[in-house]
Homo-oligomer: A and B are copies of this chain.
Amino acid sequence: MEKNYHMTPGQFREEGKKLIDWIADYYEQVENYPVLSTVQPGDIRKQLPPQAPEKGEPFDAMMSDVNKLIMPGITHWQSPNFFAYFQSNTSGPSILGELLSAGLGVQGMLWATSPACTELESQVMDWLVDMMGLPAHFKTTASGGGVIQDTASNAALAALLAARERKTNFSSNLTGESSRLVAYVSTQTHSSVEKGIKVMGIGTNRLRKIEVDEHFAMRPEALENQLKKDMKNGFIPFFVCGTVGTTSSNAVDPLREIGEICKKYDVWFHVDAAMSGTAAVCPEFRSHFDGLQLADSYAFNPHKWMFTNFDCDCFYVADKAILIKTLSILPEYLKNEATEKGAVIDYRDWHVQLGRRFRALKLWFVIRHYGAEGLRYHIGEHIRLARELASWIKTSADFELLNEPPFNLVCFRHKASDEFNKKLMDRLNKSGRIYLTHTVLNGTFWLRMSIGQTQTKQEHVARAWELIREMAKQ
């Protein structure tokens, strides 16, 4: 006899609507949870059964366990009091876009496996070029093109790989030129580039960490000196990463000067603006991106600050042919008419993964829901709040500010010892009322407050500052 263990559409309607309400309730109450989870290692696991159930269970049982077992182990990234790391935002239209993508369940590895998945992605990526004042040659309709990668880590890896192939004329292997390749970052560049260097088989002793200036931005003259020195020693420079908004302190590397050096020495120039890239929706912050025209590749993450669920990294290249040549492999079972005619984009050839889901939906929903106007407003507000916080810190007797925040990250410290600041951070985080993280710059411990959570408003920043001063006094 035929059995059916699947959830029926009727059950899906019922449970789905309850879950929609659950999520709406969550956002209405998220401020009441301690931001940083207070559980100890193993607390969650020990409450879970040691074996998978033999018999199916009703959906209510799962949701009851979500409430009882999972929620205490959640650090609330969607709390307006989350100021840690860089944000990883959601928004209503984005969650619904993710839901629709999950419901349709299509694979976008090839154009043919769902043309809309590819074409909407190309269109939305091109929209962003205009909306954010990015170089026009990044458009898919020009020489370049954009693709949604999962993370800035994989975007950096794709850039590294394409850079190597270009430099070695697509003959990369472990002998010959490849063994003399050298890459350049600053001491402040995100660790994902170092990880990428390891992954691609270039020893990390071939990664040069260029020194930075007093604003933690790469020194172009130091870069050029190192390039010359390496070439003199028989090395082959192939990749430079510049950053708009470093993770530690939001420093902005001088893209134009770095880009000109890259052109001069024929080196791939990648620009990482994972967090701060979203600021380019506001014309008044685009001066920080001056020189991006010289970049071979560029990445920023709507899943950080553009109210779009993880994962959604926008990765652009100036010359898509190089990227595709780097990453394409076409086995027989993936051959199809549209691909063979060359009339389409097959995004499988733009990243390491083969499979890919319909991620453009959520980004499309977000852009249409907010409009360029709404995005400008909320991003501008976050930056305004960061500057306001910076101004409070500057007038405080006990605290010092690292620098004027170019975007939405405020680095500051109590004038007491590093040990004091560490303890202050731990106490603040353990209070559950806010969550912030730290960095070390020039050997000194600094508190970091990133003001970029979707729902963070003036009142949250003001209360956080009040709490920080209060706890520092205790």
Contacts and interface: CB of A to CB of B under 8 A. Distances in A.
A11 B104 contact: no
Contact of A73 (B114, B368, B369, B371): B114
Interface in A62-109: 62, 66, 69-78, 85, 88-96, 98-100, 102-107
A367 B54 CA distance: 9
A88 B105 contact: yes
Contacts of A51: 127, 130-131
A127 B52 CA distance: 5
A458 B2 contact: yes
A231 interface: no
B195 A173 contact: no
Given A52-B130, A369-B57, A95 B99 contact: yes
| Size class of the contact patch on chain A | 35 or more
Given A88-B355, A105-B89, A174-B206, A98 B96 contact: no
Nearest to A458: B2
A344 interface: yes
Interface stretch (A16-24, A222-230, A264-272, A461-469): A16-24
Contacts of A448: 333
A471 to B, nearest CB: 18
Assembly of this chain: how many copies? 2
Q: Secondary structure at chain A's binding surface: helix, strand, loop or mixed?
A: helix
Given A114-B74, A174-B202, A100 B66 contact: yes
A438 B332 CA distance: 8
Given A9-B92, A12-B23, A195-B329, 19 more contacts: A5-B369, A7-B91, A12-B92, A16-B24, A16-B92, A19-B103, A52-B127, A52-B131, A61-B368, A62-B368, A77-B107, A98-B98, A105-B309, A153-B354, A174-B181, A179-B179, A194-B329, A195-B327, A199-B199
